[in-house]
């Protein structure tokens, strides 16, 4: 300690105020990430091909049924998915967090598995399962009931099919938010209710549920935004069904001859809708206080379900069949099967798909390399940005910290494909030509990940009470020394979780990448999308499984780094 004091005291007189350069640097960076692409987006939406001012793009957008119908479909898909997610995720979260249902750890792990699954891969798996004629479920059903050749149980190429598949891979967002909120509700409040004579269900209804409403609302909103901005699932399921959503429509505007002005104009409703919804959430929640964390709190009380807990567990596993067991089963089946839509049998078994993807497909190596590089870089840069910005904002370390916090949260309002269009317009022509390099994808991935990474780190900073830092500073530690010696070690679990969260996000990302890739900067998700176009389902299954193995290997590997220790699960929000 004496050593530290000496170093610090000799250093302190020469202390230079670093806050201004830090602020300027980060603000400049965030402007490059967010403000520049969005400005180009707005600019392009108001000019015609020749570059003169016009409202023509918006007139087309709101009068032409080619644009109006996708807009309506998008709203229907997003609203229903959001409702579905809440209807299923909230009860499961409650069962896991507040009841004595067994195997709750495993349920959480399975939800994580469905979060890690890229939505487009899930959509392809569900094609294998529930395409009306070749889908495995429909085949099994026909075999079991002796139904006619054309009869089917499920048709995934429909609006409800799309909503279902999107919900399967969006509900983890709601689950995690609600489960975390339930974990945080102190037992004391519920005890108080019991002491005053409230029964179990009364307490749940009057105390527990109201306290989780903000999380549920936030979850519903995030599910809505996710469903609205997904590109892969509608491209895979809606196009064969004969309808567009906004994201697939925007993508189709890049067909030759490209119409970037219309794409920009079509992106703006998504942007405006997102901002309006976020604002609305803020208004609804802003007026109420839900501060439940403070002082010592008792452990949450578990509701005893009795024999019902087995029923509950069975139901939960039944629901989790849909995003996890069935799709993975279908992918494994397709990977080892000569014909993707047939059950593996002795005559049907093959290693050909694996051989093709690993040794014949010449694009595999480059795509895997690009994806891993981008995953590591985005996760590292994104985490550093999130840690620094949330430190600055939560400790109010420099003036202007609010602006930084706002800039870090702003991308939440920018759907992936809109960001892709914006970045393409900004960085595909001089003076900044980043298109064609991994940089433009890096910018996109970091920007997309930043808001949640920042939120995550900020809530982590809140859990480290400033007293601990003050203690260090009173003993003579500098701000930096405090951050490195006290705050960072306390936060390492959250830092790792944030890193993994961003890494997983990069593996899942397709909507910005589909606009920004070139043949040299292709990532696995885009390669899978290309394979989908030509119907190479066996290769997709193998590549998808490889992708998941890479994800799990990296996440587990990172959590085993010596010095970090501890067990970290991929969390989000």
Partner 1 sequence: MVCVPFSRRDLLKGSAAVAASLSASPVSAQAPEPQAITPALIAAAKREGKLVFYTAMDLQFAERLGKAFEIKYPGMAVRVERSGAERVFQRIDQEYQSNIHAVDVVNTADQAHGIIWKRNGWLDSYLPEEVVKYFDKAFYDPDGLHVTTRILVSPIAYNTSLVKKDAAPKSFADLLDPKWAGKMCKGHPAYSGTIMNATQQISRDLGWGYFEKLAKQRVMQLQSATDTPKKIALGERAIMVDGAGYLVIQGKEKGEPVEIVYPTEGTPLATSPSAILKAAPNPNAARLFFSWMHSREAQQLLVDAARQYSPHSQTVEKPGVRKLTEIKLMKEDPATVERTADEIKTRYAKIFGV
CA–CA separation, 100 and 548 (whole Å)? 31
* Closest distance to partner 1 from the beta carbon of 569 (Å): 38
C-alpha distance from residue 84 to each of 220, 223, 565 (Å): 9, 9, 37
Q: Is 360 in the site for partner 1 (CB under 8 A)?
A: yes
Query: Among residues 197 and 257, whose Cβ is nearest to partner 1?
Result: 257
CB 438 within 8 A of CB 429: no
Neighbours of 481 (CB within 10 A): 17
Q: Which of residues 216-235 bind partner 1 (CB under 8 A)?
A: none
| Cα torsion angle, 198, 204, 207, 208, sign | positive
| H-helix segments, 395-478 | 401-409, 416-427, 438-463, 466-474
Query: Among residues 9 and 518, whose Cβ is nearest to partner 1?
Result: 518
Query: Among residues 265 and 531, whose Cβ is nearest to partner 1?
Result: 531
Query: Among residues 102 and 240, whose Cβ is nearest to partner 1?
Result: 240
**Residue count (the chain):** 573
Whether a cis peptide bond, with omega within 30° of 0, leads into 431 is: yes
CB 252 within 8 A of CB 244: yes
CB 415 within 8 A of CB 271: yes
Query: Among residues 41 and 95, whose Cβ is nearest to partner 1?
Result: 41
Stretch of 9-17, 159-167, 408-416, 533-541 lying at the interface with partner 1 (CB under 8 A): 533-541
* Closest distance to partner 1 from the beta carbon of 159 (Å): 13
Q: Is 153 in the site for partner 1 (CB under 8 A)?
A: no
Query: Among residues 136 and 548, whose Cβ is nearest to partner 1?
Result: 136
Q: Is 433 in the site for partner 1 (CB under 8 A)?
A: yes
CA–CA separation, 173 and 171 (whole Å)? 5
**Residues in CB range of 141: below 8 A, 6 or more apart:** 147, 152, 153
Q: Is 531 in the site for partner 1 (CB under 8 A)?
A: yes
Q: Is 435 in the site for partner 1 (CB under 8 A)?
A: yes
Q: Is 46 in the site for partner 1 (CB under 8 A)?
A: no
Stretch of 188-196, 319-327, 492-500, 516-524 lying at the interface with partner 1 (CB under 8 A): 516-524
User: CA dihedral defined by 451, 441, 229, 175, rounded to 10 degrees?
Assistant: -50
Q: Is 131 in the site for partner 1 (CB under 8 A)?
A: yes
CA–CA separation, 15 and 389 (whole Å)? 21
Stretch of 127-135, 222-230, 294-302, 546-554 lying at the interface with partner 1 (CB under 8 A): 127-135
- Contact string (CB under 8 A) for partner 1, positions 265-304, x = contact: ----------------------------------------
CA angle 541, 545, 548 (to 5 degrees): 140
CB 231 within 8 A of CB 416: yes
- Of 174, 175, 179, 135, give the one whose Cα is nearest residue 157: 135
Stretch of 29-37, 42-50, 126-134, 551-559 lying at the interface with partner 1 (CB under 8 A): 126-134
Give the one residue of 75, 76, 428, 550 binding partner 1; rule: CB under 8 A.
428
Query: Among residues 291 and 345, whose Cβ is nearest to partner 1?
Result: 345
CA angle 127, 107, 318 (to 5 degrees): 50
In the chain, count H helices and then E strands. 28, 0
Stretch of 180-188, 279-287, 303-311, 428-436 lying at the interface with partner 1 (CB under 8 A): 428-436
CA–CA separation, 111 and 426 (whole Å)? 37
Q: Is 133 in the site for partner 1 (CB under 8 A)?
A: yes
Q: Is 340 in the site for partner 1 (CB under 8 A)?
A: yes
| H-helix segments, 395-437 | 401-409, 416-427
Q: Is 132 in the site for partner 1 (CB under 8 A)?
A: yes
Give the one residue of 354, 366, 384, 546 binding partner 1; rule: CB under 8 A.
366
Give the one residue of 153, 372, 530, 552 binding partner 1; rule: CB under 8 A.
530
Query: Among residues 141 and 254, whose Cβ is nearest to partner 1?
Result: 254
Give the one residue of 54, 99, 134, 194 binding partner 1; rule: CB under 8 A.
134
CA–CA separation, 274 and 415 (whole Å)? 8
Q: Is 520 in the site for partner 1 (CB under 8 A)?
A: yes
C-alpha distance from residue 248 to each of 55, 255, 397 (Å): 23, 11, 43
Query: Among residues 248 and 493, whose Cβ is nearest to partner 1?
Result: 248
Q: Is 339 in the site for partner 1 (CB under 8 A)?
A: yes
Query: Please, which residues bridge with residue 53 across strands?
Result: 47
Q: Is 436 in the site for partner 1 (CB under 8 A)?
A: yes
Q: How many residues line the site for partner 1 (CB under 8 A)?
A: 49
- Contact string (CB under 8 A) for partner 1, positions 241-260, x = contact: xxxx---x---x-xxxxx--
CB 54 within 8 A of CB 47: yes
Query: Among residues 254 and 290, whose Cβ is nearest to partner 1?
Result: 254
Q: Is 534 in the site for partner 1 (CB under 8 A)?
A: yes
CA–CA separation, 295 and 571 (whole Å)? 25
Residue 83, H or E segment: helix 65-98
Which residues lie near partner 1 (CB under 8 A)? 66, 69, 131-134, 149-150, 157, 238-244, 248, 252, 254-258, 339-341, 356, 360-363, 366, 428-429, 433, 435-436, 518-520, 522, 530-531, 533-537, 539
């Amino acid at each position: 300690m004496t050593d530290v004091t000496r170093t610090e005291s000799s250093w302190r007189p020469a202390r230079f105020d670093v806050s201004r350069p830090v602020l300027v640097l980060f603000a400049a960076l965030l402007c490059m990430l967010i403000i520049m692409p969005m400005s180009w987006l707005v600019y392009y939406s108001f000019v015609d091909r020749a570059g003169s001012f016009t409202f023509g793009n918006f007139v087309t957008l709101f009068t032409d049924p080619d644009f109006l119908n996708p807009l309506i479909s998008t709203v229907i898909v997003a609203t229903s998915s959001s409702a579905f997610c809440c209807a299923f995720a909230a009860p499961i979260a409650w069962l896991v967090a507040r009841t004595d249902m067994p195997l709750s750890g495993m349920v959480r792990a399975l939800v994580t598995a469905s979060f890690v699954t890229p939505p487009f891969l899930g959509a392809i798996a569900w094609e294998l399962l529930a395409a009306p004629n070749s889908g495995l479920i429909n085949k099994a059903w026909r075999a079991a009931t002796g139904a006619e050749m054309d009869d089917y149980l499920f048709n995934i190429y429909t609006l409800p099919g799309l909503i279902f598949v999107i919900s399967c891979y969006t509900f983890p967002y709601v689950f995690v938010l609600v489960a975390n909120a339930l974990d945080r509700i102190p037992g004391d409040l519920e005890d108080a209710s019991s002491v005053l004579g409230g029964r179990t269900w009364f307490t749940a209804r009057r105390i527990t549920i109201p306290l989780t409403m903000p999380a549920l609302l936030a979850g519903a909103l995030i599910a809505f935004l996710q469903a609205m901005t997904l590109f892969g699932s509608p491209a895979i399921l809606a196009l064969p069904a004969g309808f567009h959503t906004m994201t697939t429509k925007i993508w189709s505007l890049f067909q030759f001859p490209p119409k970037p002005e219309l794409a920009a104009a079509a992106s703006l409703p998504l942007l405006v809708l997102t901002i309006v919804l976020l604002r609305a959430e803020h208004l609804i929640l802003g007026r109420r206080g839900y501060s439940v964390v403070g002082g010592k709190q008792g452990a949450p009380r578990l509701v005893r379900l009795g024999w019902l807990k087995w029923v509950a567990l069975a139901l939960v596993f039944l629901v989790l069949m849909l995003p996890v067991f069935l799709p993975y089963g279908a992918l494994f089946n397709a990977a080892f099967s000569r014909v993707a839509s047939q059950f593996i049998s002795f005559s049907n078994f093959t290693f050909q798909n694996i051989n093709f993807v690993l040794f014949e497909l010449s694009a595999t190596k480059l795509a895997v390399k690009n994806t891993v590089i981008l995953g590591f870089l985005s996760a590292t840069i994104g985490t550093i940005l999130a840690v620094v910005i949330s430190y600055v904002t939560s400790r109010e370390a420099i003036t202007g910290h609010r602006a930084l916090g706002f800039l870090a949260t702003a991308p939440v309002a920018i759907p992936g494909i809109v960001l892709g269009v914006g970045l393409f317009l900004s960085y595909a022509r001089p003076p900044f030509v980043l298109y064609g390099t991994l940089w433009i994808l890096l910018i996109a991935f970091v920007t997309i990940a930043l808001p949640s990474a920042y939120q995550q780190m900020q809530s982590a900073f809140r859990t480290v009470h400033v007293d601990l830092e003050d203690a260090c500073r009173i003993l003579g530690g500098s701000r930096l020394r405090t951050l490195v010696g006290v705050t960072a070690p306390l936060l390492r679990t959250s830092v790792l979780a944030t890193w993994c969260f961003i890494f997983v996000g990069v593996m899942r990302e397709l909507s910005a990448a589909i606009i920004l890739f070139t043949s040299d900067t292709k990532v696995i998700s885009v390669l899978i999308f290309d394979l989908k176009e030509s119907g190479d389902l066996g290769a997709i299954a193998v590549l998808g499984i490889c992708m998941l193995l890479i994800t799990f290997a990296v996440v587990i590997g990172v959590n085993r780094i010596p010095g970090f220790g501890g067990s970290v699960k991929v969390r989000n929000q």
